[in-house]
Amino acid sequence: MRLLLLFGAAIICLLPDVQSAIVPPNALNLRLTTNTSHVIPPTLYGYMWEDINHSGDGGLYAELLQNRAFQGVIPGTQNALNAWQPYNGAFLSVTSKTKGVSDALPNSLQVRIPKVVNGPIGFENTGFWGIKVQQGWTYKGSFYAKSDTFTGKVAVSLKSIQGTVFASHTVGGVSKDWKKFTFEFQPITSAPNDENVFNVVVDGKAAAGKIIHFGMFSLFPPTFRGRENGMRIDLAEALAATRPSVWRFPGGNNIEGHSIDQRWKWNQTIGRLEDRPGRIGDWGYPDTDGLGLLEYLNWAEDLEAEPILGIWSGISVANYSDFGTWPVVPEQDLQPYINEALEEIEFIIGDAKTTKGGKLRASLGRAEPYNLRFIEIGNEDQFQPASYAAYRWKAFVDAIGAKYPRLEFLATTLPSTALDPPYRRIDFHMYNSPSWFTTNAFMFDNYPRNGTMYFIGEYAVTSTNDTSALGDIPSGRLAYPTLQGAAAEAAFMTGLERNSDVVFAAAYAPSFQHIRNYQWTPDIITYDASRVVKSTSYYVQQMFSLNRGTHVLKTSPASTADSVPLFWVASYNNETSTVFLKVSNTGTADLVANIVLDFRITGFVTATSISSPSLSPISGLFNVSNTIDEPEQIIPVANSFAIPLPDRFNYTFPATSVTVISMQTSNLGSF
């Protein structure tokens, strides 16, 4: 029997389907002991974050208008008008010849109205491949305008591309100096789809032959927790619902820049939006930096996730296919960049009264220092290991550690014994096939327990052997996570949890993908302007993260290569007296476990799992995905059942499935 699990709601059914399972002769006899092996760090499950595939602009960042302030574009080019189009024959161009709305935003939109024109005329923004129009929402917008000759009214609206107007507002008072206009409107009805635009018009007769300049537009729907300049609600809620406990940001490659000057610069991402120039990100589109350092830190607080702050470490990524072309800052020139990192950290944790950085932070509304413990020096420096080992790592760690001895540092590539101070924490990244992840599920079992701790800072199954599952992605890349891939990730994660005395954190990556414009696949959450797809990998992350023990429990036998294709880890939560058994069956047949407990269960057993549904067209297929058109093919189902004997039960783990069994107990003692 299967029931849809609504997280947080207990769904109980009394008749277990486990009793009817046919037990094959090779059933696994699994004993859960009361012996613990170690405490599980509370940081174990989380995410890595960077703006890629429009995960930030056009994704988590709720701004609806694309290219809102003409940042990072070349004036006069067609590309500068990305996402903007004329309405009723206006002539548009992006210019820096007139003063911009601020020093940081020199570009503005020049709108030339023809001499003869009938009716409203102007331009529109097509959003991030559409705009969601929702009845009942209040949209808050703003823009700047100026004109030497036009002083009439400006009307803004949300409308469908066929011309249905859903919401509108009119402002007056355009003059020869830049002026900011703000407005709010509520759609009278929801739009049937995302094919909507933000339309800006003036009266054709009043404006005939005139030139009007516009700059720095913005349009926000309601945001997560009502934060100004905040997050898109459905995406924020989807991420928050997995309760991540670490948040690595702001990259990823996206801190590095294509050149040294294009690196992510913290102090250009704070303060008024008008003071943020934006930058050419590493992933092929300009970043507005509306999602800046404070937004990230507040977001991590909202998630109750510990931030892992990525610091630029002296390299940029000029060309992904030619490491030899990457600019590396020589040792003698590194100091200004170390200072930049020190200033950034002071801004985050410095005292609001006695430090320059802390004062700046307080002036932006946040007096209390943020919680910050982990600093990651660079990103994937295994691509430039020589300079990292020779001086880059040490220079940053020595300088930052001297000023902030409490901070802990993560290296991005393997240690070199020549280094002092020694590496304590290392970030490993793993993108590979299902079979790689299952084969490596035991890789940390034999790592030395010598004080070095690991962060699996990026991992995902990215390929399959079945090319028919690839969609339009070339060269073996998955378009979406599959059930098979998710089961392989879960198998690997049982190894991470079992070895969480050396693996202190892990982050699936990347997290987000706008289906209309992406640079990397697969991603854990896919979306367009109005829809969200939670992938099979998403549900695995959620199942592992929501069901956390405080201690790893020993089992007999232990999960080893001998028990493949069943992989498991058992844990105990000493706050809730719950035992969790997480199991991945990566095989293509159902497998039975005769489970015996060294403790007694009080109440029901609940099994939550994802697997190929038994009564559906995709029954028995394992390379299936949740997609933008079929987002709920694979969702967790929960099955709660009583067991006749309090210390044993049999359970069938379906072919290619991930299951978390949770059991309430009372007599495990206190750990």
Ligand X SMILES: *[C@@H]1O[C@H](CO)[C@@H](O)[C@H](O)[C@H]1NC(C)=O
Q: Taking a C-beta distance cutoff of 8 angstroms, is the pair 211, 202 a contact?
A: no
Number of Cβ atoms within 10 Å of the Cβ of 287: 25
Distance of CA 278 to the CA centre of its chain: 20
Q: Binding segment for ligand X among 182-190, 228-236, 399-407, 515-523 (CB under 6 A)?
A: 515-523
Minimum distance, C-beta of residue 161 to ligand X, in the bound complex (Å) = 22
Q: Binding segment for ligand X among 92-100, 135-143, 186-194, 319-327 (CB under 6 A)?
A: 319-327
Nearest to 514 by CA among 523, 506, 505: 523
Question: Toward ligand X, which CB reaches closer, 272 or 648?
Answer: 648
What does the alpha-carbon distance between residue 211 and residue 563 come to, in Å, rounded to a whole number? Answer: 74
Q: Binding segment for ligand X among 230-238, 345-353, 528-536, 620-628 (CB under 6 A)?
A: 620-628
What does the alpha-carbon distance between residue 266 and residue 165 come to, in Å, rounded to a whole number? Answer: 40
Of 435, 440, 633, 664, the one binding ligand X by CB under 6 A: 435
Number of Cβ atoms within 10 Å of the Cβ of 468: 7
| Size of site (CB under 6 A) for ligand X | 45
Q: Taking a C-beta distance cutoff of 8 angstroms, is the pair 413, 381 a contact?
A: yes
For residue 391 the two structure tokens come to 């001086």
413 near ligand X (CB under 6 A): no
319 near ligand X (CB under 6 A): yes
- Torsion, Cα of 246, 247, 253, 258 (10° steps): -150
Q: Binding segment for ligand X among 113-121, 135-143, 240-248, 317-325 (CB under 6 A)?
A: 317-325
518 near ligand X (CB under 6 A): yes
Q: Binding segment for ligand X among 152-160, 192-200, 230-238, 550-558 (CB under 6 A)?
A: 550-558
450 near ligand X (CB under 6 A): yes
| Helix runs in 313-432, H state only | 335-349, 356-363, 385-387, 393-403
Of 343, 408, 501, 647, the one binding ligand X by CB under 6 A: 343
Of 135, 259, 371, 556, the one binding ligand X by CB under 6 A: 556
For residue 478 the two structure tokens come to 């998955």
Question: Toward ligand X, which CB reaches closer, 217 or 423?
Answer: 423
Q: Binding segment for ligand X among 6-14, 128-136, 351-359, 548-556 (CB under 6 A)?
A: 548-556
What does the alpha-carbon distance between residue 309 and residue 392 come to, in Å, rounded to a whole number? Answer: 17
Minimum distance, C-beta of residue 414 to ligand X, in the bound complex (Å) = 7
Letters for 219-258 (x = contact with ligand X by CB under 6 A, - = none) are ----------------------------------------
59 near ligand X (CB under 6 A): no
Distance of CA 84 to the CA centre of its chain: 27
What does the alpha-carbon distance between residue 322 and residue 25 come to, in Å, rounded to a whole number? Answer: 55
Letters for 565-584 (x = contact with ligand X by CB under 6 A, - = none) are ---------xx---------
Q: Binding segment for ligand X among 6-14, 608-616, 618-626, 656-664 (CB under 6 A)?
A: 618-626
Q: Taking a C-beta distance cutoff of 8 angstroms, is the pair 569, 497 a contact?
A: yes
Question: Toward ligand X, which CB reaches closer, 145 or 360?
Answer: 360
| CB environment 135-149: b (16+ within 10 A), e (fewer) | eebebbbbbbbbbee
| Helix runs in 350-392, H state only | 356-363, 385-387
Question: Toward ligand X, which CB reaches closer, 365 or 448?
Answer: 448
- Torsion, Cα of 226, 216, 258, 58 (10° steps): 40
Question: Toward ligand X, which CB reaches closer, 218 or 571?
Answer: 571
Reduced 3-state DSSP string for 436-471: HHHHHHHCCCCCCCCCCEEEEEEEEECECCCHHHCC
475 near ligand X (CB under 6 A): no
Q: Binding segment for ligand X among 124-132, 385-393, 427-435, 651-659 (CB under 6 A)?
A: 427-435
421 near ligand X (CB under 6 A): no
What does the alpha-carbon distance between residue 625 and residue 611 come to, in Å, rounded to a whole number? Answer: 11
In one letter, which amino acid is 423?
Answer: Y
Minimum distance, C-beta of residue 349 to ligand X, in the bound complex (Å) = 17
Question: Toward ligand X, which CB reaches closer, 562 or 575?
Answer: 575
Q: Taking a C-beta distance cutoff of 8 angstroms, is the pair 66, 126 a contact?
A: yes
Q: How far is CA 184 from CA 126, 158, 167, 579, in A?
A: 19, 11, 9, 51
Of 20, 162, 321, 446, the one binding ligand X by CB under 6 A: 321
In one letter, which amino acid is 88?
Answer: N
Strands 45-48 and 246-249: parallel
Q: Binding segment for ligand X among 203-211, 305-313, 516-524, 537-545 (CB under 6 A)?
A: 516-524
Minimum distance, C-beta of residue 184 to ligand X, in the bound complex (Å) = 31
452 near ligand X (CB under 6 A): yes
Helices (H) and strands (E) in the chain, counts: 10, 33
Of 226, 330, 405, 448, the one binding ligand X by CB under 6 A: 448
Of 182, 371, 648, 667, the one binding ligand X by CB under 6 A: 648
- Closest residue by beta carbon to ligand X: 284
Of 95, 193, 268, 530, the one binding ligand X by CB under 6 A: 268
What does the alpha-carbon distance between residue 282 and residue 276 come to, in Å, rounded to a whole number? Answer: 17
Question: Toward ligand X, which CB reaches closer, 403 or 648?
Answer: 648
Of 285, 374, 544, 653, the one binding ligand X by CB under 6 A: 285
CB-based contacts of 573: which residues, under 8 Å, 6+ apart?
Answer: 548, 549, 550, 579, 580
Minimum distance, C-beta of residue 342 to ligand X, in the bound complex (Å) = 9
363 near ligand X (CB under 6 A): no
- For residues 181-220, which are near ligand X according to CB under 6 A? none
Question: Toward ligand X, which CB reaches closer, 150 or 641?
Answer: 641
472 near ligand X (CB under 6 A): no
Q: How far is CA 280 from CA 181, 203, 255, 316, in A?
A: 28, 36, 11, 13
Q: Taking a C-beta distance cutoff of 8 angstroms, is the pair 278, 69 a contact?
A: yes
467 near ligand X (CB under 6 A): no
Of 174, 579, 601, 624, the one binding ligand X by CB under 6 A: 624
24 near ligand X (CB under 6 A): no
Of 3, 28, 39, 399, the one binding ligand X by CB under 6 A: 39
Residue corresponding to tokens 């959450």? 525
Q: Which residues bind ligand X (CB under 6 A)?
A: 23, 33, 35, 39, 267-268, 284-285, 319, 321-322, 339-340, 343, 415, 422, 433-435, 448, 450-452, 465-466, 468-469, 517-519, 550, 554, 556, 574-575, 594, 621, 623-624, 645, 648-650, 670-671
